[in-house]
Amino acid sequence: MREIKFRAWDKKYKQMKNDCSNIYMGMNGRLYWKFGYDEIEPLPDYIPMLYTGLKDKNGREIYENDYVLIERVIVCEIIWDTKNCRYILTEISNGNIFHPNKIKEGIYFGNKFEGKFKEIQKDG
């Protein structure tokens, strides 16, 4: 069984929140900040990204919306395939789909919100 954890992108401050120890995901998929025994506050500016349970070839944990470089030249985004209930890699340039086992052979290459590929997109 895979470990259930997540990180979150803060849309307001444009930064990744990797330590989510005080943040909880409700049954509705929304995030809440717990700041007291039973006090919670919604976090509408946070986008949750679940851990896929997979790691790249360097042992880095891969989350939803991460980019992985496979076969040295193909950049793919990790997305949830609702039809087949699994994670898939979707090639950024043309939408080709790869099996999630390719993650183990690939290298983390940023994510949808920050990182190397986002910088390349800006320059291009």
Structural domain for 93, as ranges: 6-123
Other CB atoms within a 10 A radius of the CB of residue 24 amount to: 13
Mean per-residue pLDDT, 73-84 = 93
Q: Kind and range of the H or E element at 116? A: helix 116-123
Specify the pTM.
0.82
Tell me: pLDDT of 122 over 60. no
Does any domain span residue 1?
A: no
Among 24, 25, 29, 6, CA closest to 16: 6
Considering the chain, what percentage of its residues have pLDDT values greater than 70?
A: 90
Cα end-to-end span (Å), the chain = 41
Does any domain span residue 39?
A: yes
How many domains does the chain divide into? 1
Does any domain span residue 105?
A: yes
